[in-house]
Chains A and B, each alone.
Chain A
Amino acid sequence: DAEITQSPRHKITETGRQVTLACHQTWNHNNMFWYRQDLGHGLRLIHYSYGVQDTNKGEVSDGYSVSRSNTEDLPLTLESAASSQTSVYFCASSDARLGGNTDTQYFGPGTRLTVL
């Protein structure tokens, strides 16, 4: 069955280190998204991509970067991890096409990141 996976599921790192979180989907969806989830804030959009070589900043993109070299993967990199980036990170994908205005997103299981 098609699915969306994230790895690692849990990560502890130190302040200042570079960290990369993986997201892989097998639905062949055009669109992929990264969110962080914190108590009191719900889901906040970090970065998103509408296709290969396309990346866009979301609401809380500072300190994060993404790259889209193929359809299946959108890795999220924390260039220099900070304690404020301790959070649960979710990747999502959707198949909304240009000209459409519906966008059901399907989520991965999440990565819990702790920055010490």
Chain B
Amino acid sequence: GESVGLHLPTLSVQEGDNSIINCAYSNSASDYFIWYKQESGKGPQFIIDIRSNMDKRQGQRVTVLLNKTVKHLSLQIAATQPGDSAVYFCAENIYGSARQLTFGSGTQLTVLP
């Protein structure tokens, strides 16, 4: 079936650099996307979301980009800090699916000193 996936399972970046985490989805009917952060031993934490009528949305140090043409979204973290080390999940909502989210398998971000 259709699913959300991630290009890379792990990503290591130097502290202070920018991070880019990618996510591909296959269902063109998806119209709402969320990024979650999960630290070790904790539940996923909402970071930022984006509707399909937008291409870009910015939060505090984070930006989500949505490219509907190639069914791709990315999470950009500016000036990555040690506290950003975590697993990042993207999730999609399929219109008419009764509000269920489908999650990708996650990308482990490691911030190097």
Contact = CB atoms under 8 A, between A and B. Distances in A.
Interface string A76-115: 0000000000000010101010001111111111100000
A45 interface: yes
Nearest to B93: A103
B34 A50 contact: no
A105 B101 contact: yes
A101 B32 contact: yes
Contacts of A107: 36, 43-45
B106 A100 contact: no
A109 to B, nearest CB: 5
Given A42-B106, A102-B32, 18 more contacts: A42-B103, A42-B105, A43-B89, A43-B103, A45-B101, A50-B99, A90-B43, A94-B99, A96-B99, A101-B32, A102-B49, A102-B93, A103-B101, A104-B49, A105-B46, A107-B43, A108-B43, A110-B41
